C-alpha cells in the first residue's frame, strides 16, 4: 500500500505540473491529498517494527518532518522565482521519488533479514 500511495502521489504531481486548467489542477490536488494520507502512518509503522517504541526516536522523526515542512515554502518560492511555476510541483515529486526509494530499500532489507533469519533457523535445527 505504501508503494501504491507513493506512485499515486508522483502521478498527481506530474498531472498538476502539466494541468492546463482549474479542473485538471483540482483533480490532481485531490489525487495528491488521497495519496499522502496513508504514507506517514505506514512509514511510522514500519519504523516502529524495526526500532520498537522509543519516544526519543519519534521526537526526532517529527522534528525532521517539521523542519522539512517549514523549508518547503521557501524552496518552492525560490523555484518559482527563478524557473517558473511549471517546475514548482516537480520538487515535491522528487521528494516522493526519494520516499519511494527509501520504502523499496526498507522492503529489500526486510527480505534480506528474513532470509538470513531462515538460514540461521535451519542451521540451528540441523545442529550445525
Express each pLDDT in 49-107 by its tens digit. Answer: 766 767 777 788 788 888 888 888 898 899 899 998 878 878 888 888 888 898 888 88
Q: pLDDT class for 14, splitting at 50, 70, 90?
A: confident
Task: Read off the pLDDT band of 127 (50, 70, 90).
Answer: low
Domain spans, the chain? 2-126
Question: Which candidate, 35, 2, 3, places its Cα nearest to that of 16?
Answer: 35
pTM of the model: 0.62
Taking the alpha carbons of 61, 67, 70, 75 in that order, is the dihedral positive or negative? negative
**What confidence score (pLDDT) does residue 94 get?**
85
Amino acid at each position: 500500500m505504501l508503494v501504491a500511495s507513493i506512485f499515486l502521489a508522483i502521478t498527481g504531481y506530474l498531472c498538476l505540473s502539466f494541468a492546463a486548467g482549474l479542473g485538471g489542477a483540482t483533480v490532481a490536488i485531490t489525487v495528491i491529498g488521497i495519496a499522502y494520507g496513508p504514507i506517514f502512518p505506514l512509514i511510522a509503522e514500519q519504523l516502529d517494527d524495526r526500532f520498537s517504541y522509543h519516544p526519543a526516536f519519534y521526537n526526532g522523526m517529527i522534528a525532521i518532518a517539521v523542519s522539512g515542512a517549514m523549508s518547503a515554502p521557501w524552496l518552492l518560492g525560490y523555484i518559482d522565482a527563478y524557473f517558473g511555476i511549471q517546475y514548482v510541483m516537480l520538487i515535491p515529486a522528487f521528494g516522493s521519488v526519494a520516499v519511494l526509494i527509501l520504502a523499496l530499500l526498507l522492503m529489500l532489507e526486510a527480505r534480506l533479514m528474513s532470509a538470513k533469519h531462515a538460514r540461521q533457523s535451519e542451521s540451528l535445527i540441523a545442529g550445525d
